[in-house]
Amino acid sequence: MLPKPETIANISVKEYCFSKKQIKGVVEASEFKWTFTWSFNIGLLLVNPPLGRALIEDALLRFLLKKDYQLEAGNEYKLTISAKF
């Protein structure tokens, strides 16, 4: 049986601002690198640049919804994505 494809994404939280209700950070996976802003009070996730955004956006949103109150600025996290890219 072939192993399931997967990619490890590294998430670095750069800023957590409770007054703005935002988390800002960087996601790196394979050769891709994106910045993100998660406005958790309105459920809005912005990911840039748009190149390859579809590869990470849904998995990152699920991760943030599950872990947002556990995240801290300056820390790094890992996310396993069930796809190879």
pLDDT digits (tens, 9 = 90+) for 34-69: 999 999 999 999 999 999 899 899 999 999 999 988
Residue at 2 is within a domain: no
Is 25 part of a structural domain of the chain? yes
- Tallying the residues shown for the chain, one arrives at 85
Average pLDDT over residues 73-82: 95
Domain extent at residue 53: 7-81
With tokens 């556990």, the residue in question is 70
Q: Classify residue 1: in a domain, yes or no.
A: no
Residue 60 falls inside a structural domain = yes
Is residue 46, in this structure, part of any structural domain at all? yes
CA distances, 64 to each of 2, 5, 12, 59, 68 (Å): 30, 22, 12, 9, 5
| Number of structural domains found in the chain | 1
pTM, full prediction: 0.90
Q: Is residue 28 included in any domain, yes or no?
A: yes
Contacts of 69 (CB under 8 A, 6+ apart): none
